[in-house]
Amino acid sequence: MKNRYLLSCICVLQSFVIFSQEISDNVSVQKLAGPRLGFTILNKALVDKLPDYFDENKTYSPFVTQWGWQFETKFATTSTISGIVEFIPLVGGFEQGLFLPSFNVLMGVRSIKNWELGAGPSITATGTGIVLTGGYNFQSGGLNFPINCAFNFAEGGTRFTILAGFNVRK
């Protein structure tokens, strides 16, 4: 009984601390969007499956171009780290006559020096996976020029992607 009473008191006191904290006026939410292009290197198991879905008489390359759009929400503060959430739909394989869509949702952080790390789920034509990404965000005027490397870990095997592009505040 003593432990329950003590736990209840701690919870009540903690709630006073939590609810008495002020929200900083230095937090801003920014919406950014822009094109992305790059390439993905598929593993051998995925390349070997492509004829099953497309032209069975054709040999496919593991190198696949990617075209897409980035939708980003940045939670900026005056501190050294900002939170970012990104939605990046992509379509790959046009150079080989393929249509390989993917949808990626990433959550991560960007440092004040513009280095970024993120992770999140990926849905592709071959299934689902987890994406781990890192990169750098070059800035010039009001434009951002992100360059990212990503690994997509999925049941069908790991894929490696490099994407670049630009985005502006909406």
Got the DSSP string for 77-115?
A: -SSSEEEEEEEEEEEE-GGGT--EEEEEEEEEEEETTSE
pLDDT over threshold 80, residue 9: no
Cβ atoms 81, 110 nearer than 8 A = yes
- The pLDDT of residue 154: 92
The model's pTM? 0.81
Cβ atoms 124, 102 nearer than 8 A = yes
* Sequence-separated (6 or more) residues with CB below 8 Å from residue 94: 65, 67
Higher pLDDT, 5 or 75: 75
User: How do 81-92 and 168-169 pair as beta strands?
Assistant: unpaired
Q: What is the CATH number of domain 28-169?
A: 2.40.160.20
Confidence of residue 10 (pLDDT cuts 50, 70, 90): low
- Please report where in the chains the tokens 């070059």 appear, as a residue: 138
d(CA 133, CA 148) in angstroms, rounded, equals 7
